[in-house]
Each structure stands twice: as C-alpha cells, then as structure tokens.
Amino acid sequence: MKFFNCDYNEGAYPPILKKMMDTNLCQSIGYGEDEYCEEARNMIRGLCDAKDGDVHFLVGGTQTNLTVISAALRPHQGVISPETGHINVHETGAIEATGHKVLTVKTPDGLLTADMVEKVCHDHFTDEAFEHMVMPGMVYISSPSELGTVYSRQALTDLRAVCDKYDLMLYMDGARLGYGMAARENDIDLPFLYNVCDAFYIGGTKQGAIMGEALVIRNAALKKDFRYMIKQKGGMFAKGRMLGIQFLELFRDGAYFKLAEHADRLADDIRGALAAKGYPFAVQSGTNQIFVILPDEATAKLKEKYVLSDSGRYDDTHSVQRICTSWATNPADVKELIADIESL
Amino acid sequence: MKFFNCDYNEGAYPPILKKMMDTNLCQSIGYGEDEYCEEARNMIRGLCDAKDGDVHFLVGGTQTNLTVISAALRPHQGVISPETGHINVHETGAIEATGHKVLTVKTPDGLLTADMVEKVCHDHFTDEAFEHMVMPGMVYISSPSELGTVYSRQALTDLRAVCDKYDLMLYMDGARLGYGMAARENDIDLPFLYNVCDAFYIGGTKQGAIMGEALVIRNAALKKDFRYMIKQKGGMFAKGRMLGIQFLELFRDGAYFKLAEHADRLADDIRGALAAKGYPFAVQSGTNQIFVILPDEATAKLKEKYVLSDSGRYDDTHSVQRICTSWATNPADVKELIADIESL
Amino acid sequence: MKFFNCDYNEGAYPPILKKMMDTNLCQSIGYGEDEYCEEARNMIRGLCDAKDGDVHFLVGGTQTNLTVISAALRPHQGVISPETGHINVHETGAIEATGHKVLTVKTPDGLLTADMVEKVCHDHFTDEAFEHMVMPGMVYISSPSELGTVYSRQALTDLRAVCDKYDLMLYMDGARLGYGMAARENDIDLPFLYNVCDAFYIGGTKQGAIMGEALVIRNAALKKDFRYMIKQKGGMFAKGRMLGIQFLELFRDGAYFKLAEHADRLADDIRGALAAKGYPFAVQSGTNQIFVILPDEATAKLKEKYVLSDSGRYDDTHSVQRICTSWATNPADVKELIADIESL
Amino acid sequence: MKFFNCDYNEGAYPPILKKMMDTNLCQSIGYGEDEYCEEARNMIRGLCDAKDGDVHFLVGGTQTNLTVISAALRPHQGVISPETGHINVHETGAIEATGHKVLTVKTPDGLLTADMVEKVCHDHFTDEAFEHMVMPGMVYISSPSELGTVYSRQALTDLRAVCDKYDLMLYMDGARLGYGMAARENDIDLPFLYNVCDAFYIGGTKQGAIMGEALVIRNAALKKDFRYMIKQKGGMFAKGRMLGIQFLELFRDGAYFKLAEHADRLADDIRGALAAKGYPFAVQSGTNQIFVILPDEATAKLKEKYVLSDSGRYDDTHSVQRICTSWATNPADVKELIADIESL
C-alpha cells in the first residue's frame, strides 16, 4: 500500500538523522539550554526578523496549542476558533481540560474572518448577561487550515485589527506552515507573521522532523515565565538538543521551504488530474492536502492500492477523501496515482 | 416598574421566613447533617418514591450543574447539551472550568431528542480518529428548558434508551421543575423522573426559596463520595439547616406545586392576551416563561411600565421578549399587563 | 446538649430575618445589582476607607477562597499558606481543583511570618531548576487563623514588604475577622487591612449571617472581570439582595463588632476558668476559639453535656479540644460550662 | 568539562539511531498503531509476563505521570507521594494542574513504607471532617527514588496490601527503572512489578533513548480509554514508530539491563573512592545516582573539571552533591574522576 492519507508516514529528513549520529556522544545540558537549541533559536529569530522574539521547541501540536492557550487566558476567557479548528475537533478536549471553552464559528473553508470575530465579540460585550458568558480572550487560527486553505496578508491584517479592538491575542497554529507558504496563492512571509500574530508555531512533525514544533512568541505578557508552562504541561523535552538539531537541519539552506514546495507541487499535479476527470473539490486549496469529492466506486478502486483519509460522506454515493503529499512523497508514486486516477 | 423579566425578583415564600425565625436560636450541627435536612431529604425521597435515592441541598443551579457533571465524567468525556442549554450559554464556562467540553446540538425548541443523541454517539464511535475526539459521557437536559418547553414521558423514555445504549448518564436540570410539572401538557411525575434520570434537581431558587436546589441521585457510581465533590466546589453550605427548612416548607402540603400552578396559569392568561392580539411566539410553551415576538413599538410601550427580558432580535422591526411570571406574581399586575397588551 | 463546637450552630442575627421579612415581596433585579447590595457595598467601602475598592458578596468561605485564588494566579503559580491553612486542610482540595498547588509552610501558631515567605521565595528563585517548580504567586493568610491567633499590624506590614519584593498578592481569609478585631491584643482596623492586603474578606457566616462573605479587593488586576469569575465558580447568588440585606443589618450601628465582642469576652471567661484549673492551651489566642489540652476524663465528663470539637490527640491521656463561642452564645450557658469546668 | 550531573547528557544508544536510519523512508500509520510499536509492546508484555497488560509509549516522565494520575483519580482524590517525589517537587505542579492534590509524606530516604500510607489513610477516614479533606486515591512511588534508593520485594508487597485495604492504586515511576534493577541490592523483576503495581513505567529517556517511556498498565479501570487520555494531555506521538523502534532496540538482547549495569558498576567505583576518602553519603544507594556530602573546597576543586549537580547545603561548610553515571558514561572519565577524588 502507498500512503497518501497524511503527512507523517515517513521518518525524518535524512540530514537530521545524520546530524544526530554525528553528535550522538557529545555531552550537553538538558531542557533546551544547550548550544544546538540556542543556535536554532537564533536562526529562527533571524528568519522572522524577530530579534526580541522568544522561541521554544515543543514536541507536538496538541501540546503546543494547549500550552500556549492556557498560558494566555484568564479563567473566564475562551478562545475563538473555526468550528473545524484542530483544537475544537481533534485534540480530545485538550483546551477544555485546561479549563477554557472553545468558542466556535462556522466557516465555509476553515478560515476565520475579521467579521466573524467582530460578531462574536460584539455579541458578547453587548449582551446584558455578558458576565454569565465566556469572554473571548484569544483567536486561534491555523494556516494552512485543517481544510488546506491559507490566510492572505489582508485577512491576517484585518484579524489583527479586530484583535486589537477587543484586546484579544492572535495565535496561529502552523503545523503545516511550510506547505502554506509554498502554495501558489501565498502572499505572507515569516517577518509578517511574526508581527501580525502574538504567537505562532512553525511545524516540524509534518514537514520532515521526527517530532518538534518551533513556537515563536512576540507578546511580552505571553513570553513571561513560559518555560514553567511548558514544564507543567509535560512538554519540556529532557534531551532538548534533539529538537534543536532538527530545526537547525530543517532550516539549513532553506530546506524547510524546499521540502514543502516538493509536496505542494506534487499535490498540484494530483489536483490537476482529479480536476481533469471532473471530480469537484470540497474546498479549494493549494497546499499539500486535497479534499476531493469522489464517487464511491472510484474511492474503492483507489483504495486497493492507496491509503487515503475518509473525511465524511458527501451524499449517498459520494464521500470526501483527503489526499496528502509530504516532503517525502515519491514522485514515482504520484505518477502512478495520477495514472490510476486517469483510468478511473 | 413591575418586573416580568425573571422568576427571582421577590424574596421567599413567606412560611420559609417564618420557620427560619421560629427556629432561629436552636442549635444544630452544620453542613446538612442536621435534623431539618434529614427530614427534608426523607420528604423528597417519599415524593419521588426513591427510598435508595441520595438527596443533597446546594445553593444554586450553576453550582449544582458543575458539581454533578464534574463528578460524573472521566477527563476525556464531555456532556451533550442543547446549544441553548444553560451550561453552554449562561454559566461562564463553568463546565469547561472543571475540564470538560460541552458537546452541543442545535435544537428547534431547546429539547434534545433521542435521535440527536444517537447521532452524536454514532458519529463519535464510528470515526476513525475517535480517540482524538471528546467521548460523550453524559446527556444534560433542562425541563422546562431555557425556552420554557418541557419533555414528555415518551421523550424521556427514549432518551433513557439511547443513554443505556451508549453508557451515558442522563442528568436533568430542574431549575424550574415545578413550573414544568404544572404545565397543561405535562405528563411526568417525580417517581417517573427519578427512574428515568441518573440524577436531577428540583429547583428552589426560582420557585419560592431564598436559594437552594435539591439534587436527587439514583446512580450508584455518582452517589459515591458526592459530599466531597460538593465541598470541593464550594457548595457545602455551613448552616445547612437553612436549606433543609426551605425545602420542608416548600413541600409542606404540596405548596411547591401550587405555587408553580399559580405562575403557569397567570402565564397562560398573558399568553392568551398576546395571542388574541396576533403576536406570534418564538417557541410554544406552557410554563411560566413566554417568548413572544413583538414589534419594537409595542416593546417600547410595555417597557414604560414593565421590565421584560430581551432575548434577541427577530428581524429589523421585531425582537423576542421573555415575559416571566413566578410563584409571587401578583394577579392584579397580570391583569394590568393584559389590559396594556390589549390596548397596544 | 449545648453546642460549643463551632460558631455556626444557630441561625441568624435577628434583625437580618426581620429585614428579609419586611422587604420580602419587593421586587429587585438579581445577581447583586440591586439597591440593597449597592448600599451594603458603599457601607463597607466607607468602613474600609476604600473608595476605589471593589466589594463582592459570596455565599461561603471555600467558594470565596477558590474564586479569588484562581482569579489571581497564572497556571504555573501556587499560593503560599500555613500548613494549617483552611485552603490546605479543609477545602477538599478546592484550590488544586482549580489547578494550583498550595505551597505549605510549617508554623507554630497558624501564622505566616515575612521570614517564612522570604525563605520560600528565595529558595525558589535561587534553585537552578526553578522552572521545574511551582512559582509562588500569592500569600494566603487567615486572621484569626484556624488556631484562633491573629496577625499584628507589624506582622502584616512585614508580609506586605516581602510580597512587594517578590511580586506576590497578599490575600486574607477573614471568615472570623470580627472575632479577631475584638480580641484584646488586636491592633488593626479595616482601613489598614484594606491597604495592606490585595484582597480580604469579611466573614458573615460565622458571625451572624445566614450565609455570606464580603470580599474587598484593592488590587486592580484582581478586580478586572471578577464577576465573571464568581459566576463561573458557581458563586453568583441569584437573589443577590438577600446577601446585601444581611451585611446592611450586620454593619448597622456597628452590630458586627458588638456581636464579635460578645463572643470574645465569653471566650475570655472560659479561658480564665480553664487556666485557673491549670489546663494548658495548645495555642495562645484571644478570639472566640479556645484550643485547650484536656485530660481524657475531663473531656469525657464535659461531653456529657456539651458538644466540643476534637482537634487531635496530644498524648496518650490528653487531647486538644476546641471550644468555640459565637455571636449567639448564651451567657447562661457559659456560666454553666464554667461551673462544670471548675468542678472537674 | 565532563558531565556527571545527570543521566541524559548524551544522545541515544547507537543501535537506535541506526535502526531509525534503516527504516527511515518506510511508510507506516501514526499514533502508535504501527508494526514497530506493536512488536515493542509484545516484547514488553513478554518481559513482564503480562499477557493482558496494556503498554503505551509516551515521550517523557512528567507527561506520563500527569496522564496516569489524572486518568486514575476522581476529582476529590489526591495522590500520596514522598515529599521528595518528582511529582511533588520537579513537575511545576503538573498534577495540581490536572486538579489533584499531592498528599506528601516525609521520608528519610525517598521511599514510602506501608506504615506511612496506612497512617495517611487511617487519619483521613477517621477524621470527623473527612469529607472536607482530600481523599487518598493513589500511591505514587519512584524506584529508584529521586535519592537513588530502591524498593525491595517485601516493601512493595506491603504497599500493595495497604493499597488493597484502602482501595488505592499503586503506581511506580520507573524513570530509572533499569538502574534500580541493576543495583546489587535489587530483588525485584518485571513480572513481580507488573503484579504488584496497578501501573508502572519503564524509563527510556534516562537509559539510552532519545526520548520515551513505556507505560505498563494492569488495572482494568485504568486501561479503559487510556489513549484518549494520552491524546488530551498532548502525549500522543504522531510518528509513533519512532518510539516503538527505540524500545525494540533497547530491549533487544537485554541491552537495557546491560546499559544500566554499566552505569551502576561505574557508580559503585565512584562510591568506593568517595567512601575511601571518608566522605559520608546523604543517602545510601546502589544505583547510578550518588548523593555525597562534600566539603566546599572539595566541591570547588572537582567542579573545575566536572559538572556535578548541587543538591542543597548540608551545613556551613558542606553541601550535598549528586554525581550521576549513565549508560553512556566513559569508563576512562570515571577513572579520571576517581583519581581526582583520591587526590583531593
């Protein structure tokens, strides 16, 4: 079976393992205070043009999200999220387990707009029983979203404005950030992101690391004592350098972006083949995730050779299938998949 | 101004205060272990035909809800609630603050059906990523609901069946239970409720008590160590007898039900007057809460003399107004309100 | 049996019940926004010389403590408390249930000193693994303490200084505040307390109210959005005026302090009788709680007529007994108890 | 500088990295459901003679502890721990952050005895205010403890008995389990451990893994839905096979135990040298951690070449220093350290 169901089926970008081997018996102090982590933090600060930014390395996305959100909010505050947001759907209530409500908004495409946030806040603060309701304290977005869509520079600028108006933090989950930035429609870069968000993370797990997310914080209140938060939530990695080494290798010579581009262009090819066959998409996206509406017999046929990810029924005879490429996807496998799509 | 906005504008059913005065300087032990509480518990067990039931007196509804729900659920479980449920809307995230997600379902009338619960559970347990999602562990309903509607015997029987199928507890918030049982369409009684729910509470605050809710628990797992839970959540009332005395007086000679009937019949009269004028209702209900759609000029006119409760815009020229009666509503005030409605 | 085991065996200071009756059928808005609460808040602000202070009425002490402490701390912070502190011993882990560790300090008499707090903070901030440990964020004290002892003006001034040094809030649990202020050794007053603490509460439950604690907040960060916190923790009292009325009556003409003085002087009398018989005290205190070391046969004899509170074994033949007076204690009962002590 | 301060200064046992490289571009499903994890689970079940045991791989110790403990306890329960327990001292309140109090017991050597647990439980259940106090629900031990000491077969058998008597779970933190089992005084094995505990974990991070702890659960109630718990707490590792591979390599041909023996024997050598010089030990231990009381000038001299871990002042002129060996310690470095100790 060939796996096109998600973007973490393979191991790691090979230079990472090589570097781990080369440095394996060196001794260094733990918990991210070693020289590899320090170098990786500086590299990331450089890429983000963020000389005052704090950079922390955590193991996974759920852990990063729950640590940031619980650190940011007071007890009565909740976090606004698209209904499809990872924190709302696929983290087993991790945010609620830290005491906070996820305030959900329906979206057509997984993306929050400034107007949606404005409405939630306006409704809250003008309700006569407002103190009996959860106060919005943060906006959670993911880009690419769980539907593969990305935020534009304008959309983020508008979100920033409404966040400022209502004193909300803006936090972006970048589990697949590189895949977003390699999309043809992308118009943002890291320095812009750093300035528009209070915090965001650059995902490693889905883009070539064994594990690891690089959290970047601009907001001073959120920076304060953040390592305590990481430790309390179980995210303080003992052999910290193993995270630092990974980000060093991922960003060396722009590898991170090239790996993402590899995935996105292969996804473009698959998308082209699906479109040519007339299969509609559940959502338009230009990243490594494709959400296509397939007739059941086509799905069944493809699943003889490929692992895809079921994303719900569309109607009695169609379902939505997620097809993912990754940094490690073999172009020959894509060629074969395309041929199989064409002959459906 | 005359208050028709809610059902706790007045003090207490007068025999309660009289009894408090009569027993004021008696000495008794605290925390609900006194003889008044014991007598009130026995009285309630008798009314519910619940000789093995546990009865606890708490101060308010939010406190009761958060104590029961957090006692019932394991960390990964959530509670299914109508989107309009009090725990979802008007408790400032009290349930989430204890670590649990509220799993919401849209309803037309504030009432969950067995089919709705079936769908939530079926979708959960058949999802391939089910362990990444919050597991349903309890069903929260309120009767009357926040929209004044009530559950029928059949609806509750059906909910029980789906709860048994999926190993869910069924918990009913009875903040206005008496007003529900005095509705013309009511077909349930306390023994039925006791048997169909794992736990429910009989509301005092909104039906003549200074404060107090009588929680009745049938489920053995939930009974276990429940007084620890009450204490931990800040709900263990020091001078416990003050709660016991209130329920003793409320249930003496069926006063609780007569007070509720008083409110519901007056509400029926107001409903009749509104209907006669052709004002439509946002929800059909037969309890003490009326949700009527009024043109803005009518609302403005009424608000010169009466306090009503805004319940949202209906369209550009109409809003939904909640009009409440209570155990203490003066029939003369209702007469006056009806006359004013007629002359709108 | 005569109850000397605690200070909430009786009902309420009679003018409270009278006022409740007199105003019973008036209508007012809920949740503490009525005119009685407003008047009571103003009265308390006046007594504390605290024109910018926020005053909130809550139902009980555990609820007040957990609401204040969880509102004040960030997730990684804990609250320093004497090992004997109510929050550490007798609240079923209410503070931990909101996510925070109680950092305990052994004390000889239930009172924290500035040196003790200094040591906890110094040890924390100089530990190389400080981020792996809970950061002190608040100091919790009670005066009178659970052992009946009180803080002096100097002790509180010193605590304030160490709190300022380490950016800690200082919070005082005043469940029995009046009994402390009526002690012969007392040298503090309400305006001093207001200025030295970030927040404190004036206890009603143990000093003549049916229930109720008046929380006074000076710290601006803690004031912010505090009513949300009360609601979330289940402490927002629906018929709020019932709390306001109680504090109005308690403070009318200084009744609160006179009631406390009544209790303390009767306790002084009992203490005198015990001392005259040569019984030693476990702790020296001048408030309404006496902790006396009694031989077992003396305890047994007294318990034939009186309910006392066991406070642990002292040695094989002695135990510590708590003897409490209250605002409602009958002088004739005290006379009888003293006679019985003398004839032991 | 040579590091003797802790046991995670180096990378990973080399066959782990080799195997990661060899399998790097294979595709497998995520979240621990791959074939490597399955094989590793079976291997561990075999070693523990635990055919019904559940095995889960988590990233780190704090995460494992907080996930197990919060899964095991109801809200009103706490976990009994030695005062020196990792969960009490060095996890930034992670347990409290999930809502539970750590009930601490002073010990001379980091080890809980059955008598200590008996006393905590007896005191709790015989206290008249027991419902106002946190109920013991679990016993947490670590072996080796944070002081390097280990539990004997008899001590664990006795703890099991008291846990059964009071319906407590017994959970063992085995962050350094191998180092304990390789100690000369050790008399336990994995099948015994499996049967005596409700759950325990076999530490990888400190014994040659990049990261990873293998949690073994025998208790059926704790097994239930445990993967939800892991996900909610942020511990569900996406590229799960990377954990499975590590444990496969660690246990292949008993490597785990040989690596531990390597460390313990080198520690024995250092201990011998310290004893020969007459330096006393703060605690007697036979594992890879040595807690020695050194005069300040000796410490200063050693710290010119070696990194040791300060473990507190002993008196004005002495401190306690922790000296650790590990699976990776170079015997030549130990030889050099011993020579330097001898010439102090």
Q: Which D positions 83-102 lie with beta carbon below 8 A of chain A?
A: 91-94, 97-98
pTM: 0.97
Rounded Cα distance between B239 and B225, Å, is 21
Q: Could you tell me if B75 lies within 8 Å of chain A, comparing CB atoms?
A: yes
D70 close contact with B: CB closer than 8 A: yes
Q: Give residues 245 to 304 of A whose Cβ lies within 8 Å of D.
A: none
Structure tokens at C1: 């049996």
A211 touches chain B (CB under 8 A): no
Chains meeting D at 3+ CB pairs closer than 8 A? A, B, C
Q: What b-and-e string marks burial along B328-344, b requiring 16 or more CB atoms within 10 Å of the CB?
A: bbeeebbeebbebbeee
Tokens found for residue C184: 């012969």
Mean pLDDT over all residues of chain A?
97
Burial of D221 (0-12, 13-18, 19+ CB in 10 A): exposed
- D152-160 long-range contacts (CB < 8 A, ≥24 apart) are D152/D185, D152/D187, D152/D188, D153/D187, D153/D188, D153/D192, D155/D111, D155/D113, D155/D114, D156/D188, D156/D192, D156/D193, D156/D196, D156/D197, D157/D196, D158/D113, D158/D114, D159/D112, D159/D113, D159/D114, D159/D117, D159/D196, D160/D196, D160/D197
Distances (CA, A) of C122 to B258, C77, C118, D104: 64, 15, 6, 22
* Residue with tokens 């099948």, as numbered in its chain: D191
By the 8 A CB rule, do B5 and B322 touch? yes
Of the candidates C319, C309, C316, C253, which has an alpha carbon nearest to the alpha carbon of residue C282? C319
- pLDDT of B211-240, one tens digit each? 999 999 999 999 999 999 999 999 999 999
In this predicted model, what pLDDT tens digit does every residue of A9-64 receive, in sequence order?
A: 999 999 999 999 999 999 999 999 999 999 999 999 999 999 999 999 999 999 99
Q: What is the pLDDT of residue A8?
A: 87
Please work out, in degrees rounded to the nearest 5, the angle formed at the alpha carbon of residue A310 by the alpha carbons of A308 and A311.
130
> With an 8 Å Cβ cutoff, is B26 touching chain C?
yes
List b or e across B288-318, with b for residues whose CB sees 16 or more CB atoms inside 10 angstroms. Answer: bbbbbbbeeebbebbeeebbbbebeebeeeb
Secondary structure element (H or E) that encloses residue C139, with its range: strand C135-142
d(CA B223, CA B163) in angstroms, rounded, equals 18
Specify the DSSP class assigned to residue C211. S
pLDDT digits 0-9 by tens, C163-194: 999 999 999 999 999 999 999 999 999 999 99
Query: Which amino acid would we find at residue D215?
Result: L
Contact C131 D90 (CB under 8 A): no
Among D7, D64, D91, D210, most A C-beta atoms within 10 A, so best to mutate, is D210
CA B127 to chain centre: 34
- Does any CB of chain D come closer than 8 Å to the CB of residue C131? yes
ipTM of this predicted structure: 0.96
Chain D residue nearest residue A5, CA to CA: D29
CA nearest neighbour of B167 among B138, B194, B127: B138
Q: Is B74 on the interface with A (CB under 8 A)?
A: no
C positions 227-246 inside 8 Å of B (CB)? 228, 231-239, 241-242
Rounded mean pLDDT of D148-170? 98
Express the helix, strand and coil content of chain C in percent, nearest 5 each.
45, 20, 35
In the predicted structure, residue D102 carries a pLDDT above the cut 90:
yes
Tens-place pLDDT, residues A295-317: 999 999 999 999 999 999 999 99
Q: D267-315, pLDDT tens digit by residue?
A: 999 999 999 999 999 999 999 999 999 999 999 999 999 999 999 999 9
How many other CB atoms are found less than 10 A from the CB of residue B107?
Answer: 18
The rounded distance, in Å, linking the Cα atoms of D64 and B108 is 44
Question: Per-residue pLDDT for chain C (344 aa), expressed as one digit of tens each?
Answer: 899 998 889 999 999 999 999 999 999 999 999 999 999 999 999 999 999 999 999 999 999 999 999 999 999 999 999 999 999 999 999 999 999 999 999 999 999 999 999 999 999 999 989 999 999 999 999 999 999 999 999 999 999 999 999 999 999 999 999 999 999 999 999 999 999 999 999 999 999 999 999 999 999 999 999 999 999 999 999 999 999 999 999 999 999 999 999 999 999 999 999 999 999 999 999 999 999 999 999 999 999 999 999 999 999 999 999 999 999 999 999 999 999 999 99
Pick from B242, B179, B189: nearest CA to B50:
B189
Q: Using CB atoms, which chains have 3+ pairs under 8 A with C?
A: A, B, D
Interface contact flag, D59 A59, Cβ < 8 Å: yes
* B132 closest CB neighbour out of D98, D229, D231: D231
- Nearest to C55, CA basis, from C253, C255, C226: C226
Tokens for A271, please give them.
């998308």
Q: Pick from D71, D132, D227: which is nearest to B75 by CB? A: D71
**How many Å apart are CA A108 and CA D275, to the nearest integer?**
72
Task: Report pLDDT digits (tens) over A214-268.
Answer: 999 999 999 999 999 999 999 999 999 999 999 999 999 999 999 999 999 999 9
> What percentage of chain C reaches a pLDDT higher than 90?
98
Q: Quick one: DSSP state of residue B100?
A: -
- Confidence at residue D8, expressed as pLDDT on a 0 to 100 scale: 87
What does the alpha-carbon distance between residue B86 and residue B67 come to, in Å, rounded to a whole number? 14
Q: Residue B55 in 3-state DSSP?
A: strand
In 3D space, the residue among A241, C101, A112 whose CA is nearest the CA of residue D98 turns out to be: C101
Q: CB distance A99–B102 less than 8 Å?
A: no
- Flag whether pLDDT at D265 surpasses 90: yes
A310–B128: do the CB atoms touch at under 8 Å?
yes
Of B74, B75, B231, the CB nearest to D131: B231
Which tens digit of pLDDT belongs to each residue from B92-113?
999 999 999 999 999 999 999 9
Gyration radius from chain C CA atoms? 20
Q: Is A126 helix (H, G, I), strand (E, B) or coil?
A: helix
Interface test with A, best of C168, C232, C233, C237 (most A CBs within 10 A): C232
Among candidates D211, D254, D255, which has minimal Cα distance to D20? D211
B93·A101 Cβ contact <8 A: yes
- Contact between C215 and C55 (Cβ < 8 Å): yes
Mean pLDDT per 10-residue interval, chain B, length 344 residues: 90 97 94 97 98 97 98 98 98 98 97 98 95 98 97 98 98 98 97 98 97 98 98 97 98 97 98 98 95 97 95 95 96 97 95
Contacts of A341 (CB under 8 A, 6+ apart): A270, A273, A274, A277, A302
Helices (H), C151-309: 153-166, 177-181, 190-196, 220-223, 226-232, 241-251, 255-276, 296-302
Chain A nearest-CA residue for B131: A92
Sequence-distant (6+) residues with CB within 8 A of B175 are B61, B86, B142, B201, B203, B205, B206, B213
Residues in chain C: 344
Interface test with A, best of C228, C229, C233 (most A CBs within 10 A): C228
